[in-house]
Structure 1
C-alpha cells in the first residue's frame, strides 16, 4: 500500500508543479524561487536571482535547466552540483529545449495584419546568443522534436507538419492534414525509419455529443509519405523506453452509467495494433472508476493511472489487469496530477497547491 511520508503546501495560488529529477523534488514556491529538495530526507535549497522570477524549468538530456524571466528578457540557467550557472539569454516567446545543446523559440506578432505573417521561429545553438537561423511562421508552433533524422514540428492552427534541416532551416517536406483532422496534444514520436503522429477528428451526431475518432499515422521521415494508419480508442499513449511500444489503459462510458475498461498497445515500427481489448476495471471486488485517458507513468511494466475519487492504481501491461488500487485520502481535492515514481516513492500534486510523497509498503 501507499503511505504518506511528507507533504508541502505553497500557501498561495502561484503553484507548486513539482518534478522529479535524479531523486530530487524540483518546484517553484510562492516567492517564485526555485526549490531543490532531497527526495529522501526532504532537505531543501532555494535559488533566486535579483529582479528575476523563476518562470519554469525542464530536464533535457539528463540536465536541469531553469528559465528566469521579466517582461523584457529571458535568461536560462543550468543546474550543476548545487550551483545555477548562467547558460543562455533568449528572445521573448515560447521557449523549448530540444536536446543536443539546441533550442527553439517562437513568437506571435498579433499586430501584424497579414495572415501569412503571424509569428517567427528561431533555432538556437545554446553555446551562442544569436539564432542559427530564423523563419516566419503562420501562428503557433507545437511539439518540436529534434532527432537524428532532423527537426519536426507541427503548426497547430495551420494543421501542417514540417520537417526541417536543423542546420539551415530549409523545409525538407511539409504535409497538410485532411479537413477536420487535428493533431492531438501528444508528442511526435521519432523512430529510425518512421515517425508516429497522433490525430483526431470530431464527427457530428444528430442529437448527441460529437464523436471523436482517434488514429495514428506512421510517416517516412525522409519523404513524409504515409506508411500506415491505425485507428484506436484512446487519444493518449505512453512510450515504453526499452521497446518503443505505445501503451494505454483507459475507461469509457456505456449506457446507464456503466463503464468499460480497455487496454491498447501499438508497435509504431511495424505499424501494427498489437492489442485492443476490454479488460477488467476491478480490484478486490470494487471498480476503480473513470480512468483518466492521459497523465500516466510507466515504470517496470506498470502503468500508474489516476481515476475518480482520488484513486491511484497500478495496471500491469504484461498480465493486462489492475493489480492494485487505492484511495489517497490525504489529497485535498478531487483533481490531482499524474503520479511520478522514484524508487519506492511516489509524488502526487493536488489542486490546492499541495504535493504529497508516498512510500510503498508491502
Structure 2
C-alpha cells in the first residue's frame, strides 16, 4: 500500500469559508450572506475586466513564467529592482515556497498564535518544527489578540530559519507599531529570515503602524509579503508577491516556484489593478468607514472588539464561539469561527453587515436550547 508521509497524513484539511449558495439551499432561504473569507464586496475593477477579457484570447499559450511585466510594475511601484521581486499563486503559495527554500528537517519556523492558520501546516509539510508564541492582550483587561514581539524574539534559536509576522494579524486584526517592530527586527539574528506578512496593509489607518517595505530597506534578512486577493479584488485569480531587500531571497522563492502557476489572465489582471490604484484607495476608504460602523455597532451590543486595521473584525468569544457561529449560519450568515477562541467577521457591504447584525440580535434574543 502506498502511503503519504506521516506528517502529511496527520495534516488537517484546509477549510475555506462555506459557499453561500450551498447554505441557502440547505436552510431553504433565497440568499445567504458570506462574511467569512475577507474578500472585498466590490465587483472587479473595470480595467481588470477589460484586461481579463483581452487576455483570455491568448490562453492557448503558456503564461510568462517570470511574470516580467507584472514584476516590473511592482518594482516601479515600490522603488526596488526587479531582482528583489517574486510573484506567486497567492501569498500562501509564496509562504510554502519560502518554507521549501529555507527549512530542512530539524529547523524551525516561528510565528505568533493565533495567526494565519497556514503557518503551522507549512512547517509540518517542510518537516520543520512550528514554534508558536502566544498572543498578548493589546490593552489592559482585554483578550489576547496582539503579537508579543519580545516573547517571539526570545523564542528564536539557532534552528530558526523563518519568522512570520502577520501585520495586521489574521484573524484578530490588530497590528504592531513601529518602535516594537523595529526593536524586534534589530534583535533577530542575521541568519533568520523575517517575513512581514502584510496581506491587509491597504486597510491600515493607524499612522504608527509602519509600512513593512520601509522597514525592509537596509535589512537583508527582511522580506515583505503582499497579495492582490484582498484590497485589489483578485481573490479568484490568485496573485501574491514578495519584496526582499536581499535579491537572493527573491531568487530562492523563484527557484521553488511551481512553473506557470501565476496564469496569464491573473498577470494581466494584476497589472491592470496596479494601474487603477486611485480607485482601489477609494474602495479601501469605504471599507474602513464601514469597519468603524460595524465595530461601533458590535460594541454597543456588548462585544469586546479590538480596533482592527484589516477588512475584518474579531469577536473573542471563547467557548461561545461555535454556538454563536452556528446560530448565525442558521440565520443565513456565514462567518469564520475558530473553536474555543473567536469569530472573524469580514467587513461586507452596509446591507450585508445589517443582515449580520440583525442575525446577531435574533440569535442573542433566542431562548437557550
Higher helix content, 1 or 2: 2
Higher strand content, 1 or 2: 1
TM-score higher than 0.5 here?
Answer: no
Q: Which has the higher contact order (CA 8 A, sep 6+)?
A: 2
Q: Quick check: which has more Rg, 1 or 2?
A: 1
TM-score range, shorter chain: under 0.3
- The TM-score with structure 1 as length reference comes to 0.24
